[in-house]
Structure 1
Amino acid sequence: MDFQLSDDQRALKAGMRELLAGRFGRDRMRANLDGGTGIDRALWRELGEAGLFALRLPEAKGGAGLGLPESVLLFEEVGRSLLPGPLIATHLAAGAVKGAAEGRAVIAVLDAGKPVGHLGDADGLLVLGPGDAGSGAADAGGPAGGMLRDAVRIREAAEPVRSLDPFTPLWRVTVPAGPAERLPDGARPREEGALLAAAEQLGSAARTTDMAVQHACAREQFGSPIGSFQAVKHLCAGMLVRTELARSAVYAAAVTADPAEIAGAKLLADDAAVRNARDCLQVHGGMGFTWEADVHLHLKRAWLRSGQWLAAATAEETLAADLC
């Protein structure tokens, strides 16, 4: 079986990277960081027009009719860019929430016991249901497969909390009773969300590897690039190994959609994103700790993502149950 990307998949991936580089390059990213971290609605709509949210909807419903592997490729590019916003939840809600597929609606995710990101910009909430592995959301009153709720009343009772990631404002909420709309039968929001989060982590791990190598080639010490020193070579080599190991797991899980493989992919991608960002910071040395460097932004986002959709303890339990 040939697992190489097709020409269409490569073009899809390259197109998303080009779009994000043009609309959310480093200058724009830094401007957002300094001037506020709200969601850029114009960019959100542009992502909708590019098909990020409607990618898996049937062509008859305005989508591209593609599958989970193609979604993984696009979200890998999103992970490289540090683009803020609940892109995964909006992608999963496309077709079920009016305007989500086109990028006119922003859908955040509510997982009981965890803070909600970007609640201030959200038009609706994807509530993970009690049937999802380890969700702990039984009090939400929603069935397995998740529910959709309006965000306005929940936002009124929410309390802002300090966020580790400067791009991801967080709110602490209680899960209210009230009207909600059920996602279509067969929906697997937690599993699919975990896989797409793993793809974002993969993109971040690849990006920090590139950043480390570029700095190691450009920065000189004792008359030589620091990349010529064995200790730095080993750090960069380890980063590449973690990235490619995670890539194999994420791509395989995208093809099989098996819960255990998704859990394994999330574990490996979380590890790669966090450890690569830390090693990238080490390669950058003292300047890596400064606000002006981008390394800390990848590290903070990786830490935050590692606890979302499928945390390590739940993923480990899923793998253990599959083995037994």
Structure 2
Amino acid sequence: MSAGDSTEHDELRHVVREFLGERSPSSEVRRLMEAGESRDELVWALLAGQLGLTGIAVPEKYGGAGYGPVELGIVLEEMGGALVVAPYFATVALAGQALAASGDEDAMARWLSGIADGSLTATLAVAEESGSWDLAEVAATAEPAGDGWAVTGTKLFVIDGHTADLLLVVAHAPDGPGVFAIEGDTAGTERVRLDSLDLTRPLGAVSLHGARAVRVGAGRDTAAWLSEVRDLILAALAAEQLGGAARCLDMSVEYAKVREQFGRPIGSFQAIKHKCANMLLEVECGRSAVYHAREALAGAQPDGRLAAVLAYTYCSGAFTRAAKECIQIHGGIGYTWEHDAHLYLRRAKSSELLFGQPARQRARLAELAGI
């Protein structure tokens, strides 16, 4: 595995971190969150146009930078630390990677260029009532309708599902499961924002009533394709979780240096030292897991799937524990609305449940590891 980032990757990380520090500070995150906005238009335009981050994992043929899981992971790690309010994860990590892996030239030519230049937002809708991404639990159906398809069903917990310009919906066709592209304003499509724990990452419910759609990746084995995409998404989300956990550690250490009790900084107390040391250990273990997963997937290594599931499973727990310890170390102020600590705990728990119950991911990990 790679020991760390290259010089070019370090520069990418520095640029993204500097940009987010200037354009997406805590005050801006809170402004967008409390206003119910999905993004700041100027920041999105700069992120897409000036930095080219929306096209980082899009093939050059379609206007992107042609990079992969490694570079996307670096960007998401920084965004996770900043709790960016923008449809980046849904558009680039979910829909963008799904389209790029589809092998469907028509679909890629039609939509990837819009994702690359930031003019199109998109998302992937799989889960329904159970919250699981298991295809066996998908009840939505698709029937041939003229030269297209008509999709019926309800999708829940869809990231940015209420605002995305394009929905990639998983439904069962007569020949098996498939992925169907539906424009957000298509007749027969009803979308609402759900009340959710994480106020910085909105979730939507999408109800489809014979909505006209275009099938994507019809020539591929959908189950195998979506399994491949899920691995890419798990690695991307693990990178974001790592960024959040690392920020919780930084916040805790900085506070422990300046907060005094009994005439001395609380960081000098053994209990606080233990908490920070344990957080550091988990963050660094998570970093090793994430970096190996992204390298394994980028190199199409045999253990890529196992590495992706391991990274996500580990980082889910590490981020949640780091967020809880951050609140604990901050004491009374950590429990208040005005402090950012609770925002990280909300993101941590939401991410941990994004693909269904954590026990399912652990069971899949055990199966892949042959346990």
**TM-score, with structure 1 as normaliser:** 0.88
Tell me the alpha carbon deviations over residues 221-268 of structure 1, each in whole angstroms, 9 at most, x when there is no partner.
Answer: 100000000111111111111111111111101111211111110011
Within the candidate set 197, 213, 238, 1:179 is matched to 213
The question of whether the paired residues in 1 share the 8 Å contact of 2:252 and 2:330 is answered with yes
AA in 2 matched with 1:110: A
Alignment of 1:31-180 (within 5 A): 31-49=31-49, 50-92=51-93, 93-94=95-96, 96=108, 97=111, 98-113=113-128, 114-127=156-169, 129=170, 138=172, 143=177, 146-153=179-186, 156-174=189-207, 177=210, 178-180=212-214
Structure 2 portions without partners, runs of 5+ = 101-107, 129-155, 298-303
CA 1:81–1:38: 2 relative to 1, 3 Å = same
**More deviation in 278-287 or 99-108?**
99-108
CA 1:56–1:115: 2 relative to 1, 3 Å = closer
Partners of 2:321 and 2:77 in 1: CA distance: 17
Within the candidate set 251, 254, 266, 1:211 is matched to 251
State the aligned residue count. Answer: 315
1:234 partner SS: helix
* Aligned-CA RMSD value: 2.5
1:149 partner SS: strand
Aligned to 2:23: 23
**More deviation in 156-165 or 191-200?**
156-165
Aligned to 2:319: 273
Partners of 1:66 and 1:33 in 2: CA distance: 30
Partners of 2:264 and 2:337 in 1: CA distance: 27
The question of whether the paired residues in 1 share the 8 Å contact of 2:161 and 2:205 is answered with no
The question of whether the paired residues in 2 share the 8 Å contact of 1:274 and 1:299 is answered with yes
Partners of 1:154 and 1:172 in 2: CA distance: 16
1:202 partner SS: helix
AA in 1 matched with 2:123: A
2:168 partner SS: strand
Measured after TM superposition, the shift of residue 41 of structure 1 is 2.8
CA 1:304–1:139: 2 relative to 1, 3 Å = farther
Measured after TM superposition, the shift of residue 171 of structure 1 is 2.6
CA 1:33–1:208: 2 relative to 1, 3 Å = same
Within the candidate set 271, 294, 303, 1:231 is matched to 271
Over alpha carbons, which structure has the higher Rg?
2
The question of whether the paired residues in 1 share the 8 Å contact of 2:306 and 2:365 is answered with yes
The question of whether the paired residues in 1 share the 8 Å contact of 2:162 and 2:205 is answered with no
Alignment of 1:241-252 (within 5 A): 241-252=281-292
Q: Percent identity?
A: 35
The question of whether the paired residues in 2 share the 8 Å contact of 1:193 and 1:309 is answered with no
Measured after TM superposition, the shift of residue 300 of structure 1 is 0.3
AA in 1 matched with 2:166: G
Within the candidate set 299, 307, 310, 1:264 is matched to 310
The question of whether the paired residues in 2 share the 8 Å contact of 1:78 and 1:200 is answered with yes
The question of whether the paired residues in 2 share the 8 Å contact of 1:139 and 1:175 is answered with no
CA 1:310–1:11: 2 relative to 1, 3 Å = farther
CA 1:225–1:189: 2 relative to 1, 3 Å = same
Tell me the alpha carbon deviations over residues 33-82 of structure 1, each in whole angstroms, 9 at most, x when there is no partner.
Answer: 33333322332222222122211333343322222111111110010011
AA in 2 matched with 1:58: P
CA 1:83–1:260: 2 relative to 1, 3 Å = same
Measured after TM superposition, the shift of residue 206 of structure 1 is 0.2
The question of whether the paired residues in 2 share the 8 Å contact of 1:195 and 1:253 is answered with yes
